[in-house]
Amino acid sequence: MQSARPVEPAPAPADLNALRQLVAADLARVNQVIIQQAQSEVKLVSDVAAHIIAAGGKRLRPCLTLASAMLCNYEGARHVQLAACVEFIHTATLLHDDVVDESTLRRGEQTANDIWGNQSSVLVGDFLFSRAFQLMVADGSLDVLKILSDASATISEGEVQQLMVSHDLSITQEIYEQVIGAKTAALFAAACEIGPVVAGQLQWRSALRDYGYALGMAFQMADDALDYAASSEAELGKAIGDDFREGKITMPVMVAYQHATPEEKQFWDETLARGDTLDAQTLTHAKGLMHKHSAIEATMQRAQYFCDAAIAALSPLPASPAKEALEQAARFAVARQF
């Protein structure tokens, strides 16, 4: 007979399963809206839209809108349309990003710009963006229109700022966080803020907005770490080191550069100048320097700070399955390997 041992609490799960299960029925309806509303009489519009939408991804942002509505005890149907709007805005920015980055691979699939050319990606992005606004207008909430038009303006400003500081190894943490706050966290914040707004539970508006913002920050930082730390390109869905090739100075590079010896600084300067032609050996050396200066760890620590902030933002809200699912999503943001 074994002696009695205190039962260890099971580690809190860090995945999107609870979130996905919680919103599964609504998300199926969101997907229907997305497929239906991405149709156009112009066949090429439908084709390009279907391609980027089918590539699918995690549908994390619409899930956040659905869960935040649920957390606010919303019982109507408006959140479904509005979650689709959030995904359309996200999809439009992806199409435009791929043109900006000249990417050929997204989520493991050939990018739309690589198949149909930049022209279609620019224009179909514009179409999806307009369609999002048409759906919001049909919904009729000026509050929601304000949330998402503000987020859209912020996203484009963040992307331009990222362009401006690209190839600049000396950028500060503050600028880096401004950029990812604008290009990523703003839409996460907006996605979460829509829930309390449609539910008319305005007392939770700032809490859910803050949660979304912090979640977005954690998510993007983990993404930036994975760009160097992912175990395989297949899992990452893009080439390891892509950010650096594109001149995007993210936190892992920033930290390694800040702690670099003069000789290492020279390596970074030269490597960045080479950019496109970054070979496997150079990338391995770069990753070695990141390891030496604990750059990935520093990035993940900062991501963990935002994960904790996201969970803390939810603390005023009463316990519920939706709250728990959102907490798990925050833990997933920093625990994920893909």
105: which strand partners? 110
Which of 159, 223, 227, 327 lies at the binding interface for a copy of itself (CB under 8 A)? 159
- DSSP structure string for 169-236: TT--HHHHHHHHIIIIIHHHHHHHHHHHHHHT-GGGHHHHHHHHHHHHHHHHHHHHHHHHH-S-HHHH
Nearer to a copy of itself (CB atom), residue 8 or residue 41: 41
Segment interacting with a copy of itself, rule: CB under 8 A, options 122-130, 235-243, 261-269, 280-288: 122-130
Chain positions 45 to 74 lying near a copy of itself, rule: CB under 8 A, are: 45, 48
How many residues bind a copy of itself, per CB under 8 A? 43
Q: Does 320 bind a copy of itself (CB under 8 A)?
A: no
Q: What is the DSSP string of 70-117?
A: HHTT--SSHHHHHHHHHHHHHHHHHHHHHHHHT-SEETTEE-HHHHH-
Q: Does 156 contact a copy of itself by CB under 8 A?
A: yes
- The rounded distance, in Å, linking the Cα atoms of 2 and 229 is 42
Cα–Cα distance, 304 to 75 (Å, whole number)? 33
CA distance 41 to 99: 24
Under DSSP, the state recorded for 276 is G
The residue range among 13-21, 94-102, 232-240, 319-327 that interacts with a copy of itself, by the rule CB under 8 A, is 94-102
Please identify, using beta-carbon distances, which residue of 149 and 282 lies nearer to a copy of itself.
149
Q: Which of the 8 DSSP states describes residue 12?
A: P
Cβ atoms within 10 A of the Cβ of 291, count? 14
One of 100, 185, 189, 329 touching a copy of itself (CB under 8 A): 100
Which of 179, 256, 225 is CA-nearest to residue 336?
A: 225
Shortest gap between Cβ of 96 and a copy of itself (angstroms)?
5
Can residue 25 be called a binding residue for a copy of itself (CB under 8 A)? no
In angstroms, what is the minimal distance from the CB of 307 to a copy of itself?
A: 28
Selected range binding a copy of itself among 37-45, 53-61, 267-275, 330-338, rule: CB under 8 A: 37-45
Does 129 help bind a copy of itself (rule: CB under 8 A)? yes
In sequence order, what are the beta bridge partners of 106? 109
Helix, strand or coil, per DSSP, at residue 105? strand
Q: Which stretch binds a copy of itself (CB under 8 A): 3-11, 161-169, 277-285, 327-335?
A: 161-169
Q: Using the rule CB under 8 A, give the single segment among 113-121, 267-275, 291-299, 316-324 that binds a copy of itself.
A: 113-121
CB of 126 to a copy of itself, least distance (A): 4
Does the protein bind a copy of itself through residue 42 (CB under 8 A)? Answer: yes
Strands 109-110 and 105-106: antiparallel
Does position 39 interact with a copy of itself (CB under 8 A)? The reply is: no
CA 18 to chain centre: 19
Question: Are residues 190 and 180 in contact, defined by beta-carbon separation less than 8 angstroms?
Answer: no
Site string for a copy of itself, 133-152 (x = CB under 8 A): xx-xx--x-x--xx--xx-x
Do 62 and 84 contact (CB within 8 A), yes or no? yes
Q: Residue 324 carries which DSSP code?
A: H
Q: Verify binding: residue 131, a copy of itself, rule CB under 8 A.
A: yes
The site for a copy of itself (CB under 8 A) is made up of 40-45, 48, 93, 96, 99-100, 118-120, 122-127, 129-131, 133-134, 136-137, 140, 142, 145-146, 149-150, 152-153, 155-157, 159-161, 163-164
